[in-house]
Every structure is written in C-alpha cells, then in structure tokens.
C-alpha cells in the first residue's frame, strides 16, 4: 500500500472531544472518524488493526473447537419476551417497530437468537457439545458512550455460546474458553489479568472477566498480594471485621448544628469515621431505600442491586428533595432509628457497637447507637466496596486495587435461557433435558483501544506487532532522487513478495512530516531510505517500541527486516 493513496487523515493537534489517550491517538493517527455519539467509521489503518485482532480470535476459537456462524443483527421482540428480558434489559436495548408493526431490537448480544437456533436444529445429546461463535457489530444504546472505541454504541464483538448435555461437560466447555481467552490476549501482546466477575443482566452462575491493566480503565480490580485471588470490585469480598466486644452505652442525642458531612460530624464529635454509620438514600425503581454504611466505606452499587434483586440501572442516589420527601429530614441528619422505609445495612454495621448516626432531626445526631437494640434493618448484606485496607477472603493477605479495561467476559449460564425458552435435547435415556449453556464475549474493537492505552509515548501509538495494522513502514525521503526512490520501491516490492505487510510513504512531504506521522501511527518497524543511502548506501531500520536503530545495506535490508518482523511476531 502506498501512503499517497491511502486515506490516513492525521491531525497535528489533539481533538478537543477526546479525553483518554487511545481516543486522542485513534483520531489523530487517522484510524477512526466519528459519525455520531458512540459510532465510528473505521478507516483503513483502524480496520486493519481490527482485522488482525479478529484473525487471532478466529484462529483460537477454531482451535478450541468452536464453529463460526453469523446471526442477524435485527432481532424479534418475541424471542426476548420468551426469555423474559424484553422488560428487564433496560434502555441499552434499542427497540423499534418494522413496517408490519412487529417489535424488534438491534442485537446487543445474542443469547435469545442462538438458543432459538439450537432448539430448532439440535435434538440429541449425540450432537453435543456444541460451541458456535460469530464476529459481528453489536448495538447498545449506552447511557454514556465515550472514550472512542472503548465504549461505543456500535462496536465489534466476538460472541460464542456453548451447549452441553451435563454440568460437568459445561464446565469443560467453560474451561476450554478460559484457556482460549488466555491465548488470545497473550497473542495480542496485552498485559492482562483474569478476574472473578459479577454475572450482571446476562445472568448465570459464575463468570470471569479479562482485564487489560491500564490506569485509564473504568473497572477496578482487586488482587491479593499473597495469593491468586483476583476479582472485579463489583464482586470482590474480603474478610469481615469481627464483632466489637464493647459494652453498649446509653443512646444520647447531641446537637450538631450545621454539621452534615461525615468528616465534619466526626471532627465535631471527636470520633473516627469508622465509628459513624452513614445513611444514604437510593431511589430503586421509584421507591426510596436507605443504605447503612460505616462512615469510611462506599456503596458498591452492583452488590446493592444484586441483594435487592434489581439491575444496577434501576437504582440511583436520591437528590436532596427526594431525601426530604422520603424521610422528612434534610440530607446530613439522617439515621436508621424510626426510619419507615426499607433499610439495607452493610454487614460491617452489624459488627459495630456504639456508633454515631443522624437523629432524623435537623441539626442533631445520636451517639451510642446499636443495631438490633435501637433499630432493625429490613436486610443485612455485603453492599460495600472493598478497600486496600481490607484482607483477602482466601488467605487473609493484603488486597491491592488496580484499574483495568474489560476486554473479555465468560459466563457459565446454566439453564437460564434454555429453561425459559424451552430449548431441550433428548439424553441417552430419551428424556428431555434443557441444554446447559455458556456464553463468551470479546470486545474486538475495544481491544485496539486497550492496546493503545497500554502502549504509547509522547509521539504516538506503539502497536504490539501481532495487531499492528501493518508491520513495516518505509519512508522514501528522496522522492525526486531516482536512486533513493528505486531502492525504496524495490525494498517495498521485495517485502511484499515475502509476505511482509508494508506501507511505502511515497508522499511529497518533508522528512519531518513523515517522521512525525510514522511515530504517530505506531507501525512496529520504520525503514528509512534517505540521504545516507546516497552517501554510503546505508538504510536505517528503527524499532518503534524501544527506538533501537539498526543500520543495514540495500542488499541485506530485506532479509534483515524479514528476520526482525518474524522475531517480533513469534515473541
């Protein structure tokens, strides 16, 4: 490919709309262009990187015995009604009506369609196990599409679905996918970690997420310094505190004029935040719910949603007016005593003795409050985020919090969809049984963004060789010089013959522009044919990742470049 003929609209400045590095660089390097919020056109270089990821995914899925299919993107509501998700999936599901008045949606995921396909076409245990996958554009009407390819409304996903006859076989299918995922992300050249995850709206019995480690990640992952424990914050638990042995003291109301925030109240009462219980009001499906939490802890909304049996989209913090309407008390003075709405206490609160709470009276708090004696919550459970002061649930070791980007997610679904959609096969005794299912997603387009978040410098992207759009970029720095141009053209043609992917920068631009663009688009190897070639016949090969420069001759250049590329690909 010749640079002069390719659409690579590089930009000199960072686009104002982009906040994180991958978004900035994908725009600046001319990989993508935005159509509307959360939807992008993949330009030649962007698409080439995506195709590289797709190919790795495809090879590893095939190796694991999965078969590629392609399902329709538009799905009938009737299937979603059968599974029960039409009413619960929420606003991410883009719904519409076709010319015949049939309710439809754009596929955000394909459990319903695949379950329908398999129930119509697979009858016997002899046809199992079965694992089908596709690589396809998904549509999710995300509440906050952002960060470019990281959270789009349209994005490319690989989704696979396994069908097994027994629980044991289903676990083997899960295990195979787990291994395939490790291979995929290793081959993509990513630093990642597999973590225990919440099963969310898709439902199911257990799941793991694959997280690319990067400071800009939207997810927090919790790992143990001492053992293998690794979980998403949404799921992570820790060793609970042991119950305080202090004697309960007499409940005392204290005037705390104007003291509303935890820190301020604690300073005023001369106590630590860990001796106070805060009362937070959430609106859950239009109803207020109070959540009790130790002063220095934070609510984990996914855990809260799970214990309330709702989706995390169905809950949000109440505003000041809603707090007042629900409790008759202004924000800052709320407490559990005498509160007449549903109250969820975090497990940690049950271990505390003689804590401070709001008095449900403006400008007052009470001290020496005790759960069980002074109030009884509607329910108690783990609804808080773990912190790096907490201890590992498996071994008691120190926990560490890091940021991650979710690039893959595997679920053991069990019979959630096969039971509700009546998808059965005949077992060896000719008995009807529901399929035992698993589902396995990879964010193909997100991987490209995640790879950039992990690999860049001040000059641009640094692509891992296996997923770079092409492996080599040749700079012809003497367009009007026949010797230079002939040498550059010959190296280009010979590399192509050897199966190396290469772009020849044959634009009529200054060397400075070519060097800048080369760094920006992050092609692993840059080959320069310029002034030195005229002087002493030398050609320069520069490795983008570490800046190392190898000088070679025209005669040796193709062999040298080929060796470097092959070595890079097999690392």
Residues that bind ligand ATP (CB under 6 A): 109, 140, 142, 151-152, 155, 157, 200, 406-409, 441, 443, 445-446
Q: Which residue, 194 or 502, has its beta carbon nearer to ligand ATP?
A: 194
The bridge status of strand 252-255 relative to strand 103-106 is unpaired
Give the SS3 label for residue 454.
helix
| Closest approach of ligand ATP to the CB of residue 64, in Å | 17
Cβ proximity to ligand ATP, 155 vs 333, nearer residue: 155
Residue whose CB is less far from ligand ATP, 144 or 429? 144
Q: Least distance in Å: CB of 39 to ligand ATP?
A: 11
Shortest distance, position 76 Cβ to ligand ATP, whole Å: 20
Q: Give yes or no for a contact between 71 and 107, defined as CB atoms under 8 angstroms apart.
A: yes
Residue with Cβ nearer ligand ATP (154 or 390) = 154
Cα→Cα distances 326→258, 312, 344, 356, Å = 21, 21, 15, 21
Beta bridge partners of 561: none
Cβ-based nearer residue to ligand ATP, 158 or 526: 158
Tokens of 90: 């929420």
Alpha carbon distance 29, 31 (integer Å): 6
We find the least distance from the C-beta atom of residue 439 to ligand ATP, in angstroms, to be 8
Residues with Cβ within 8 Å of residue 13, at least 6 apart in sequence? 28
Q: Please name the residue that has the structure tokens 């490919």.
A: 1
Closest separation in Å from C-beta 266 to ligand ATP: 35
Question: Residue 28 CA to chain centroid, in angstroms?
Answer: 23
Give 179 or 553: the residue with its C-beta nearer to ligand ATP. Answer: 179
The span from the CA of 517 to the CA of 571, in Å, is 26
Q: Indicate the length of the chain as a whole number.
A: 571
Phi, psi for residue 281 in degrees, rounded to 5: -105, 125
> SS3 for 488?
helix
Cβ closer to ligand ATP: 406 or 505? 406
Instruction: Tell me how far, at minimum, the Cβ of 440 lies from ligand ATP, in Å.
Output: 9
Query: Closer CB to ligand ATP, residue 91 or residue 243?
Result: 91
What's the min distance (Å) between Cβ of 405 and ligand ATP?
A: 8
CB 110 within 8 A of CB 132: no
Nearer to ligand ATP, 23 or 151 (CB): 151
> Nearest distance from residue 255's CB to ligand ATP, in Å?
45
Dist. CA 490–CA 484, nearest whole Å? 10
Residue whose CB is nearest to ligand ATP in the complex, by number:
443
User: Shortest approach of ligand ATP to residue 219 CB, angstroms?
Assistant: 7
Smallest distance, ligand ATP to C-beta of residue 121, A: 25
CA 31 centroid distance within chain: 21
C-beta closer to ligand ATP: residue 84 or 200: 200
377 Cβ partners below 8 Å, 6+ apart? Answer: 292, 336, 343, 344, 345, 349, 371
Q: Residue 112 corresponds to which tokens in the numbers above? A: 């319903």
- Bridge partners (DSSP) listed for residue 195: 209
Minimum CB separation of residue 235 from ligand ATP in Å reads: 12
- Among residues 380 and 445, whose Cβ is nearest to ligand ATP? 445
Q: Which residue, 160 or 495, has its beta carbon nearer to ligand ATP?
A: 160
Give the Cα separation of 474 and 460 in Å (integer).
17
Q: Is 495 helix (H, G, I), strand (E, B) or coil?
A: helix
C-alpha 290: how far from chain center: 30
- Compute, in degrees rounded to 10, the torsion defined by CA atoms 302, 304, 310, 311: -20
The percent helix, strand, coil of the chain (3-state, each to 5) is 30, 30, 35
Which CB, 86 or 554, lies closer to ligand ATP? 86
Read off φ and ψ for residue 363, nearest 5 degrees.
Answer: 70, 20
CA–CA–CA angle 377, 278, 349 (5° rounding): 50
Compute the least distance from the CB of residue 408 to ligand ATP, in Å.
5
Q: How far is the CB of 65 from ligand ATP (least distance, A)?
A: 21
109 within 8 A of 137, measured Cβ to Cβ: no
The DSSP string of 89-148 is: S-TTS-EEE-TT--EEEE-S--HHHHHHHHHHH--BGGG-SEEEEEEEEEE---SS-BTG
């Amino acid at each position: 490919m010749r640079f002069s003929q390719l659409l690579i609209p590089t930009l000199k400045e960072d686009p104002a709309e982009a906040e994180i590095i991958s978004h900035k660089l994908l725009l600046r390097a001319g990989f993508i262009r935005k159509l509307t919020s959360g939807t992008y056109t993949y330009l030649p270089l962007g698409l080439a990187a995506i195709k590289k990821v797709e190919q790795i995914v495809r090879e590893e899925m095939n190796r694991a015995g999965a078969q590629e299919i392609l399902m329709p993107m538009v799905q009938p509501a009737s299937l979603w009604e059968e599974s029960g998700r039409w009413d619960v999936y929420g606003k991410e599901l883009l719904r519409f009506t076709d010319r015949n008045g049939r309710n439809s949606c754009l596929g955000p995921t394909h459990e319903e369609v695949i379950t329908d396909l398999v129930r119509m076409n697979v009858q016997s245990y002899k046809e199992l196990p079965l694992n089908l996958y596709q690589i396809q554009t998904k549509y999710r009407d995300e509440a906050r599409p952002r960060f470019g390819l990281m959270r789009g409304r349209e994005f490319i996903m690989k989704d696979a679905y396994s069908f097994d006859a027994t629980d044991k076989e289903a676990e083997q299918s899960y295990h195979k996918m787990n291994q395939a995922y490790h291979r995929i992300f290793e081959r993509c050249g990513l630093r990642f970690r597999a973590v225990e995850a919440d099963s969310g709206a898709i439902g199911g019995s257990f799941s793991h997420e694959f997280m690319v480690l990067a400071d800009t990640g939207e997810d927090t992952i919790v790992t143990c310094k001492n053992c293998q424990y690794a979980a998403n914050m949404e799921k992570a638990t820790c060793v609970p505190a042991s119950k305080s042995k202090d004697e309960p003291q007499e409940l005392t109301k204290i005037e705390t004029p104007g003291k509303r925030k935890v820190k301020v109240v604690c300073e005023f009462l001369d106590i630590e935040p860990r001796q106070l219980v805060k009362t937070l009001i959430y609106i859950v499906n239009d109803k207020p719910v109070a959540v009790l939490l130790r002063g220095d802890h934070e609510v984990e909304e996914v855990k809260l949603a799970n214990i309330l049996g709702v989706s995390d989209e169905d809950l949000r913090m109440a505003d000041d007016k809603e707090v007042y309407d629900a409790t008759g008390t202004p924000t800052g003075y709320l407490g559990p005593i005498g509160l007449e709405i549903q109250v969820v206490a975090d497990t940690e609160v049950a271990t505390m003795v003689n804590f401070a709470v709001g008095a449900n009276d403006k400008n007052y708090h009470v001290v020496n409050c005790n759960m069980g004696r002074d109030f009884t919550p509607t329910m108690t459970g783990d609804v808080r985020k773990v912190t790096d002061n907490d201890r590992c649930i498996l071994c008691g070791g120190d926990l560490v919090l890091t940021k991650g980007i979710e690039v893959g997610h595997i679920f053991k679904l069990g019979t959630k969809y096969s039971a509700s959609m009546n998808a059965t096969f005949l077992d060896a005794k000719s008995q009807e049984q529901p399929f035992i299912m698993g589902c396995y997603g990879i964010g193909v387009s997100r991987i490209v963004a995640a790879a950039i978040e992990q690999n860049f410098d001040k000059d641009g992207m640094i692509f891992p060789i296996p997923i770079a759009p092409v492996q080599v970029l040749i700079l012809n720095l003497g367009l009007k010089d026949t010797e230079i141009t002939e040498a550059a053209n010959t190296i280009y043609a010979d590399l192509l013959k050897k199966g190396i992917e290469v772009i020849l920068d044959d634009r009529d631009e200054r060397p400075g522009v070519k060097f800048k663009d080369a760094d920006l688009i992050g092609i692993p190897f840059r080959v320069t044919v310029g002034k030195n070639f005229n002087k002493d016949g030398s050609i320069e090969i520069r490795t983008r990742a570490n800046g190392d420069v190898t000088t070679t001759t025209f005669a040796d250049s193709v062999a040298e470049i080929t060796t470097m590329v092959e070595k890079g690909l097999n690392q």
